[in-house]
Amino acid sequence: MSLPHGIKSVEQLPVEGKRVFVRVDYNVPLEKGTKRVTDDARIRATLPTLKNLIERGARIVLGSHLGRPDGQVKPELSLEPVAHKLAELIGQEVSLADEPVGDGARKVVSDLRDGQIAMLENLRWNPGEEANDEAFARQLASYCDIYVNDAFGTAHRAHASTAGMVKFVGEKGAGFVMAKEIDFLTRLLGNVDRPYVAVLGGAKVSDKIEVLDALLDRVDSLVIGGAMANTFLEAQGKNVGKSKVEKDKLPVARNFLRKAVEKKKTVHLPTDVMVGSGLDDTNPVAVRVDQIGGEQMALDIGPGTVELYRRVLTEARTVFWNGPMGVFEKKQWANGTVSIAQALADNKLALTVVGGGDSAAAIAQAGLADKVSHVSTGGGASLEFVQGLDLPGIAALRP
């Protein structure tokens, strides 16, 4: 795989006998009490990179954060259960240092032999990590000869382990998780096959307005759903009853729709929605968007809208999807989101990319994650990338 801007892939790095720091994203959910890892997908995702390094005799030093310890040593946020899980998955010992940097960390690293794995403790136990402190970054860099980043999910943060330390290390490159993200997301910024359709949904216009603006220039049409659609519908003068609306974003929404007309881009909004008295109402009813009752909440897109969006997505040759179409966490409001996931999965002619934490969860829940071209592992990072922003964790990998 060839990456843009001369970024090297891990395979191209001369790692034999070298100490290789690998920034991984092992910020995984732990079961309360037992501290068991309840979802090991992020650990599994890094196995190809680690196996490649092991086969070539590298000495691996793993660095990750876990949760939000805010620069303090919080034993309940120890990477211990994660090191345990990794050892089980990869079938070899993983020696965990008792701190992110210091004598203990140095000892574990200097004891490494070719093909062995050490893990530093939770990097965010040290305030230097999130502050991108130079002294902390130099300490991390002193544990390695080569730097590899395989943590796309934190690439939009300029922290010591994602950005600061890299300039103090000789060789650097992207792990396989990172390389795949860069490869697919870069395609969305280049000369794409058209029509290019962006599907945007989720909770808030305010979370996504920069993404909406940036995509408006690149795509041929936008398809909008989720709670975000309510704000647009109200901006058009529709009564959306008790639906979630960001009143203070009505001018932003109106302005956006005006810009779309000027730029001759089509913005599709729901023509009908599924309404109920609240999230727990188990009897959704479909109504046209000009007939939403004063006491009703729109919690999913309706069947007419699903049909319309499906047609738009069938014709598309490039699709970026972020944000669920409804409250997909509840079965009765999941149909719109699942239908959009299915429409992407059915379009075998298009490049189909899904980004966003909840969107990734939704497509996995629908069992369709492996039927699209790429599901990004990074929520915020993928949104910043498709806006065309330069992510510090990726910029640091350029020669």
193: which DSSP letter?
Answer: -
Of all residues in the shown chain, the one whose CB is closest to ligand ADP is: 202
Q: For residue 6, which of 283, 280, 399 has the smallest C-alpha distance?
A: 399
Site for ligand ADP in 15-34 (CB under 6 A): none
User: What type of residue is 252?
Assistant: V
Q: For residue 212, which of 283, 267, 170, 146 has the smallest C-alpha distance?
A: 267
Binding segment for ligand ADP among 62-70, 108-116, 167-175, 326-334 (CB under 6 A)?
326-334
215 binds ligand ADP (CB under 6 A): no
Peptide bond into 195 cis (omega under 30): yes
Could you tell me where the beta strands, DSSP code E, fall in the chain? Answer: 19-23, 59-63, 94-96, 117-119, 146-149, 171-174, 196-200, 221-224, 266-268, 272-276, 285-288, 297-301, 318-322, 351-354, 374-375
Active-site choice (42, 180, 208, 238): 42
**Taking CB under 6 A as the rule, which mask of x and - marks residues 149-188 in contact with ligand ADP?**
----------------------------------------
Residue among 175 and 356 whose Cβ is closer to ligand ADP: 356
Find the shortest distance in angstroms from Cβ 244 to ligand ADP: 4
207 binds ligand ADP (CB under 6 A): yes
C-alpha to C-alpha distance for 373 and 353, rounded to whole angstroms: 6
Site for Mg ion in 330-369 (CB under 5 A): 357-358
C-alpha to C-alpha distance for 172 and 167, rounded to whole angstroms: 9
Find the shortest distance in angstroms from Cβ 262 to ligand ADP: 26
Site residue total, ligand ADP (CB under 6 A): 19
392 binds ligand ADP (CB under 6 A): no
Find the shortest distance in angstroms from Cβ 248 to ligand ADP: 17
Residue 258 a catalytic site member: no
Residue 208 a catalytic site member: no
Active-site choice (138, 204, 288, 310): 204
Residue 304 a catalytic site member: no
Q: For residue 92, which of 56, 60, 65 has the smallest C-alpha distance?
A: 60
121 binds Mg ion (CB under 5 A): no
C-alpha to C-alpha distance for 377 and 393, rounded to whole angstroms: 15
**Taking CB under 6 A as the rule, which mask of x and - marks residues 336-365 in contact with ligand ADP?**
--------------------xxxx------
Place of tokens 């030093």: 61
118: which DSSP letter?
Answer: E
Show which residues are catalytic.
42, 204, 357, 380
